[in-house]
């Protein structure tokens, strides 16, 4: 699995600890340094079964600067949300776990982590 990781994020560190304890292999991606492009972020949203605003950190200063609180949350505006997150990757929720089975999870809860471990060990890593 690949983890979109921010080394200063406690949730990201917790994911690493959980996966290490479960002996689940993973690759770290420093998404703030290596941000996704629009097509990749769109694919991750598909894998998450989410909309762009569902994984946007709207409390970040960049969101305030862009005025995202007032942006519509509909099909016509979703490309705008994606473009903002590509330009300002700190707006992307973390950690995102891209599972080897083709799925994805936002690994912020114990339940999401347990699901990631279950799916990784079921699939052999």
Interatomic CA distance for residues 23 and 58, integer angstroms: 34
Domains in the chain (CATH in brackets) are: 2-122 (3.40.30.10)
Are 98 and 4 in contact by the 8 Å Cβ rule? The answer is yes
Determine what percent of the chain is predicted with pLDDT higher than 90. Answer: 96
Write down the mean pLDDT value for the chain. Answer: 95
User: Could you tell me which residues are beta bridge partners of residue 28?
Assistant: 3
Upper half-sphere CA count for residue 51 (Cβ side, 13 Å): 12
Q: pLDDT tens, 36-87?
A: 999 999 999 999 999 999 999 999 999 999 999 999 999 999 999 999 999 9
User: Could you tell me which residues are beta bridge partners of residue 97?
Assistant: 3, 105
């Amino acid at each position: 699995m690949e983890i979109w990781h921010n080394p200063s994020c406690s949730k990201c560190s917790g994911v690493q600890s959980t996966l290490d304890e479960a002996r689940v292999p993973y690759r770290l991606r420093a998404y703030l340094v290596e941000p996704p492009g629009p097509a990749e972020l769109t694919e991750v949203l598909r894998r998450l079964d989410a909309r762009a605003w569902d994984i946007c950190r709207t409390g970040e200063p960049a969101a305030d600067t862009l005025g995202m609180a007032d942006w519509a949350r509909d099909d016509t505006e979703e490309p705008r949300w994606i473009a903002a997150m590509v330009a300002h990757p700190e707006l992307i929720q973390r950690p995102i776990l891209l599972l080897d089975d083709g799925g994805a999870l936002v690994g912020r809860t114990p339940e999401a982590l347990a699901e990631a471990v279950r799916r990784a060990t079921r699939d052999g890593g």
